[in-house]
Copies of this chain bind each other. A is one copy, B any other.
């Protein structure tokens, strides 16, 4: 392929889907800038860019729930990436769930928690959840 991939958007970001390499569970979606992407590739641990904090962060930096990269794929348009990982620790979600997608709905209006909480975020993150 000759085009530069991935293709960062006008904000120099790209959405990254993180999937459990073992069981296929989609764990989270976060954004990467070029630096986060390169750090993810070079270190083998996922790094992201926080749009609200305007800062690079390493997943699991505080919680220890790091994600070890198993494979990286890019989509047909080049504007989204899929990272399969081994999730260390309790889970990916700062709210204490294995996946950030822990609420489901059948009507798109009422949402219920559909996943078990696997750790106490207060204990893991203290006062600074990430």
Contact = CB atoms under 8 A, between A and B. Distances in A.
A5 to B, nearest CB: 5
A28 B108 contact: no
A4 to B, nearest CB: 9
Interface string A92-106: 011101001111111
Contacts of A5: 103, 105, 111
Interface residues of A, number: 40
B17 A111 contact: no
A18 to B, nearest CB: 10
A35 to B, nearest CB: 12
Contacts of A17: 17, 26, 29
